[in-house]
Amino acid sequence: MADAGGTGTTGDSLLFLTDEQLRKGIEAMFFAYRGFTADPDRILEDYAYGRAHHRALHFINRSPGTTVTNLLAILGVTKQSLNRVLRSLIEDGLVESSVGRNDKRERHLSLTPRGLELEKKLSDAQTARMRAAYRAAGPEAVAGFRQVLEAMMDPDQRRHFNLLKDQPG
């Protein structure tokens, strides 16, 4: 923690590493995450679903045909937690679970037309805010935003994040 205050002897400006700046970054994450989830949350109320359902819909849409095990690793929750959410989505006809071809133990998950519809509704709401923020901040700010977020992830999370990259979606 030497020179964390940035007032030391390094000529290079490290003022962006002061405790005050870091604290503000923490607070920015807190307030921004609330905005980030606010719009989908409002929509989900009408469906008696929660954030957990949204996450499942998002990542199944993102990687159609993914297995339950893979989804568990991405979401970082227990099998029981995910199962509760998945069961209701399957019962309601938003998600389809099909037995694996090669390995019949696996279940491959995909969205039904109704599932795609809700996912799009949620995604549109969340993306609208994101787009406005991106547009307001500009491309260079967005690049920085993405760099810092990626650096904040745990290595495992970053691996999952990068595996999602550039998929045909």
68, 45, 128, 57: which is closest to 93 by C-alpha?
Answer: 57
Tokens at residue 39, please? 């719009």
Binding region for DNA (CB under 7 A) out of 13-21, 27-35, 52-60, 124-132: 52-60
* 34 contact choice in a second copy, DNA, none (CB below 5 to 8 Å, kind-dependent): a second copy
Half-sphere exposure of 104 (CA within 13 A, CB side): 0
Minimum Å gap between C-beta 91 and a second copy is 25
- 103 counts as binding DNA under rule CB under 7 A: yes
50 binds, among a second copy, DNA, none (CB under 5 to 8 A by kind): DNA
For residue 98, the minimal CB distance to DNA (Å) is 9
Cα 21-135-166 angle, rounded to 5 deg: 95
Longest dimension (CA), the chain: 64
Pattern 77-96, binding to DNA, x per CB under 7 A? Answer: xxxxx-xxxxx---------
